[in-house]
Structure 1
Amino acid sequence: MSDLDDDEFEADEALRADIIRRARTEGVRTAYESALAVCRDPNAPAAAKASSQRTLLMVGGLLDRNDRNASAEKPASEMDGNELQQAIERASQKRKRAIAATKPTDGAFD
């Protein structure tokens, strides 16, 4: 590569970085405000409102499938051996904590 090519590459990278930065700041803000405006517009078509509502819920993290299913365990029938063993260990630890929480510690027979 020549020096000119290196300079062009660096200029392209700087431009790309600036565009990404602006998209993540100005673009996200504008998209959010636009979606909110569509939701609030009584004359907006139903499809536009639905799309904007979904976008806002996604931005708010309410439609993230990973977050939504983070606490949900698979049914035992869908687990492999390792997953079953981990589920048994979690249940056992949970049981031990529950028993420990209900035991009196300052009783006459301790």
Structure 2
Amino acid sequence: MAEGRRGFAWQEDEEFLRKVEVEVLIPKKMREYAKIKCADYCDAFTKCCKEKGLTMAYSCRKENGAMKECISGYYKNKEFFEMCKKEYLAERKEFRETGVRQKDKAKAKTETSR
């Protein structure tokens, strides 16, 4: 049996991103960071929704618009996408080397801090 690559070519290319990574996983990371950076707008919208109850769809339009504008500003920022992409690639590389997922790593960190 001839020696050659084990696995797929994209598994060995550190910079290659699959479609699901570009369209789902990196935007998920962007959304998480955008919510942190727009926390004031998110908190105002959440507070409004809790106060208004069933009429929140109509009553909280201003807060919802401000929150959407803040978050979409990050989505449209190419530098922000590249930052999240680099962070994702670093996490993926670490997973490929160690086999430990980020969720498991964070969970272990919280358990040891108790």
Whose Rg is larger? 1
Whether TM-score is above 0.5 comes out as no
Say which structure is richer in helix: 2
Q: Which TM-score bucket, shorter chain as reference?
A: under 0.3
**Whose RCO is larger (CA < 8 A, sep 6+)?**
2
* Structure-1-length-normalised TM-score: 0.26
